[in-house]
Amino acid sequence: MDRRRNGDVIRFLHSADWQLGMTRRFLGTESQAVYTADRLAAVASLGELATEYGAGFVVVAGDAFEDNAVPRSVVLRAAEALAAFPVPVLVLPGNHDPLDVSSVLRCRDFSSAVHGGAVTVLEDSEPVEVLPGVEVVGVPWTSKRPDPARLPALLASLGPTDGLRVLVAHGGTDEVYGGDAPSVEAIRVADLEDSVGAGHLDYVALGDRHSVTRVGSGNRIWFSGSPETTAFDDVEKDSGHALLVELGRPDATGSRVDCAVTPVRTGRWSFRAINAEIETEADLEALSERVEAVGDKSRTVLKLGLTGTVGVALRARIDDLLDTWAALFAAAYLRERLTHLVVRAEDSDFTDLVDGYAGRAVEDLVEAAASDGPDAEDAGNALSLLYRLVDGGVR
């Protein structure tokens, strides 16, 4: 049985914002190489998911590449992965990879590798019949600042259809981004809902927002999010997915069947933002347990915002843990903007550890750390480092 058409139900995958070629400034060389490979693997997995779930095609709602000047290796590997897809793939140019004169989607390395295969670049808004009775219409970006009237004009031109129609578009919506969305990107949700309600569209596949997001009051307008995580969980929610969309064909009376949308996991990475107040050993132990519970540390980026007043020994232990986590995780670091640890220096911290000239230097640092002066934080950090050095050395 052809699983791509189960009775009157059509299945397809909605993805977007692959941004192949993306780099993250906080990743070292080794972790960046793994991240790059995993981003491509997440894209390749869409072909496997299409087979597993009986999807008839895949739509990519913009930004397949990070920009139009990505390295050739990125283009060739992406084209090879796409050429192996078992179902049609319709790719929309987005704001990162617009269809201008330098378009990566038109370059020879990409077009020659996918020519005659399953890949179609949506270069205009002409309908593409991807399956019998199923058409896809797109609104491609042709420059970094295309005409914002393109989408409203397309919606106004659409009429009812006897089959199924999927719109693929890229940009922020007035509902998600409010008044902060640039006018060139702003998509009016009310316009989309009117077209859906009139039966002119059966599903709207959006790209630009990297979090899985349902738009409007119904279940037919979605951002798929990025197939691999790109930002921290205090900003980006439920990334690392594709959406499995199931649409029922109109019945004999022309009535529409409900649309079902299911997020399917594609990514492996996570970006964790953790804030904690540290005043005691117990506070630090609780944070340590929380961090140690994170799985797949080599594919996790950790940023910490720590506040509190601590003794020199406790600050030294914090620094030891940070060094360990930086080695265990893909990246781990303190968020300068959200970290303010005041070191409470006490004479007992250095009893029998230093004397002579070093002891007098410690006294000066203790005095500076206890002050409200501009050097208080640096003095506290220096005391922590000194404590670690004289109490067994820094590993």
Q: How many domains does the chain have?
A: 2
Task: Tell me, yes or no, whether 20 lies in a domain.
Answer: yes
Tell me what pLDDT residue 3 has: 37
Tell me what pLDDT residue 54 has: 96
Neighbours of 197 (CB within 10 A): 13
Tell whether 286 and 259 lie within a shared domain.
Answer: no
Tell whether 89 and 196 lie within a shared domain.
Answer: yes
Q: Give the residue from 203, 236, 265 where a domain finishes.
A: 265
Tell whether 132 and 246 lie within a shared domain.
Answer: yes
What the block records as the tokens of 17 is 């914002």
Tell me what pLDDT residue 7 has: 52
Tell me what pLDDT residue 5 has: 44
- What are 294-314's pLDDT values in tens digits? 999 999 999 999 999 888 888
Task: Tell me, yes or no, whether 161 lies in a domain.
Answer: yes
Long-range contacts, stretch 322-328, CB < 8 angstroms, 24+ apart: 323/394, 323/395, 325/291, 328/297, 328/298
Task: Tell me, yes or no, whether 95 lies in a domain.
Answer: yes
The predicted model scores a pTM of: 0.86
Q: Would you call 166 helix, strand, or coil by DSSP? A: strand
Tell whether 221 and 317 lie within a shared domain.
Answer: no
Tell whether 102 and 64 lie within a shared domain.
Answer: yes
Task: Tell me, yes or no, whether 343 lies in a domain.
Answer: yes
* CA atoms 190, 194, 200, 201: torsion sign: positive
Q: Give the residue from 214, 246, 265 where a domain finishes.
A: 265
Structural domain boundaries, residue 141: 5-265
Tell whether 178 and 284 lie within a shared domain.
Answer: no
Question: Which DSSP letter does residue 249 get?
Answer: P
Tell whether 82 and 220 lie within a shared domain.
Answer: yes
Tell whether 72 and 196 lie within a shared domain.
Answer: yes
Long-range contacts, stretch 373-378, CB < 8 angstroms, 24+ apart: 376/342, 377/340, 377/341, 377/342, 377/343
Residues of the chain scoring pLDDT < 70? 1-7, 176-185, 250-257, 345-367, 369-377, 380-381, 383-395
Tell me what pLDDT residue 388 has: 61
Tell whether 143 and 240 lie within a shared domain.
Answer: yes
CATH number at residue 117: 3.60.21.10
Tell whether 295 and 335 lie within a shared domain.
Answer: yes
Tell whether 301 and 246 lie within a shared domain.
Answer: no
CA distance to 150, 212, 274, per residue, from 124 (Å): 10, 26, 44
What's the N-to-C CA distance of the chain in angstroms?
61
* Structure-token match 């000047």, residue found: 69
Task: Tell me, yes or no, whether 395 lies in a domain.
Answer: no
Q: Give the residue from 265, 286, 312 where a domain finishes.
A: 265
